[in-house]
Amino acid sequence: MSTLLRALRIVRIALRHRLDTFLEHTALAPATRLLRPFVVARPDEADASRGERLRLALQELGPLFVKFGQVLSTRRDLLPTDIATALALLQDRVAPFAGELAEAEVEASLGKPIAELFARFERTPLASASIAQVHAATLHDGREVVVKVLRPGVAKRISDDLDLLRLLARAVDRVHPDAARIRPLDVVAELERALRHEIDLQREGANASLLRRNFADSPDLYVPEVFWSHSSERVLTLERVHGIRADDVAAIRAAGIDPHRLAAKGVRVFYTQVFRDNFFHADAHPGNIWVDTSRAENPRFIALDFGIVGSLSETDRFYLAENFTAMFARDYQRIAQLHIDAGWMPASLDLEELTADVRTVCEPYFSRPLSEIALGEVLLKIFQMARKNQLTIQPQLILLQKTLLNIEGLGRTLDPQLDLWAVAQPVLADILREQRRPRAIGRRLRAQLPGWLKAAPHMPELVHRYLQQAVHGDSSLRLRSEDLAELASVTRSGQRRTVFAILGAALGIMAAVLHGLEAGGARYGGIPLAAWLLGAGAFAAFVAAWPRRR
């Protein structure tokens, strides 16, 4: 019954805010027209935009729907720009729960009395949101901390609201003409994943700990220390920090800090997180980014709230870096080719047509002064172009693009004349140059070597099995390159030559790695393993190169 009443309340609030207009031209439109006369629309929203009406409705529905709107606002590849912009304004502020309940939760989670854990614990919270609230406290050694405590019953409330959202998503999936692209059930699944992560405060603590380690002793970013002895899945204790919101330019100037220098640091910190560490703070709005006022001569940022972080696959990170480099060079064909190679655009697209589309998107931006160009906006337009081609960009890339918009917006707030390209280009170039050094390549090879060695004993059997299949005509070769398509008709002898060529190259690479790591590896018969592998590779290459009989 409670679920039914909750569903009816959602319908009533949606009609009050005239959200039925979103369902025009769908199978639900007749039903909403029948219900409309029974609910009075809000007269103060007569001239409000659709995005504003949706934002107000979500706020009225409650904290979890506010969180849903916040997550949805990051999916600018799925939403029209006006709606995504309106949802980004949602404020996650709710009435606090009683301090006594917070104390009880801390004691239950950590298994000790509050007086034993803290010398002082303030019952009045510093801040309160839909998932948790934060209390000031002092440890027995005198260090000041903040204690983040989950709301009582929040997991049950999340589960109930997610059940309702799934029902709504299924309805949209059945009736909306563009459901295949929007994929409402996937959006709800993404929301569920984000919320499950947010209510695991131990996960947030681990995020903070890793970010702190990545920027240890950094002059650019400070991350508060996590006190694991006072933390659990439902309680997180962090070092208390003090600073100014990063968008309060007047206070920053009053503290004797140069906002221009600070703006450039913010851009460098972002690119360092993404391309050096592959771990970035993905909720970098000004409320979560402060400025340390104790270092006026060499200012740095302070990061807060680590519930939302991002990382990219090595492939996506490579293609993203190459895309940025191509954007700096205005090489539109290179950008188009990279998007196809990365799988961000359908491979069936014509390269010249896609190049023209990229030029159409990018050229209006590049005609502006450099101080007015924002990479985040350019990426957004390109992702929207992918949406028109019925391709949904991966959520992590959208999260990165949203974070880039936040960082660039903050940079322009601090310094309206900031040349983002001039700041970002050398940082990106240095990071890419470092990653391409032989030492960095060697580190990556060493990381992969255990997997290769684990698979090595099985290689002779697999090669033997494949050769048997090739001899009897049972094997098939799947090729992706059009330039190699003609090899599909090679004879069984030709297949054997291919196998031996690949085997020779693989053995040669393994020999080089072993030689570089430990002067040839283990010895058999007095001869280093690397030499045995190199000899076997040379023999395989000789067999591959031997002329075929006609």
Active site residues: 283
CB 265 within 8 A of CB 143: no
Dist CA 501 CA 404 (whole Å): 45
Token code pair at residue 464: 């033997």
Dist CA 22 CA 491 (whole Å): 60
| Closest alpha carbon to 149 in 116, 91, 107 | 107
Q: Look up residue 334 and give its DSSP letter.
A: H
Token code pair at residue 17: 């805010």
Q: What are phi and psi of 239, to 5 degrees?
A: -55, 135
The string of DSSP codes covering 466-521 is: HHHHHHTT--------GGGGGGGG--HHHHHHHHHHHHHHHHHHHHHHHHHHHTT-
CB 235 within 8 A of CB 147: yes
Dist CA 199 CA 234 (whole Å): 7
Tokens 């709005």 belong to 285
What are the percentages of helix, strand and coil residues in the chain, rounded to 5? 65, 10, 30
Coil, helix or strand at residue 70: helix
Q: What are phi and psi of 379, to 5 degrees?
A: -60, -40
Helices (H), 199-288: 201-214, 249-254, 259-271
Dist CA 144 CA 526 (whole Å): 63
CB 290 within 8 A of CB 245: yes
For 112-148, the three-class secondary structure string (H helix, E strand, C coil) is: CCHHHHCCEECCCCCEECCCEEEEEEECCCCCEEEEE
CB 316 within 8 A of CB 342: yes
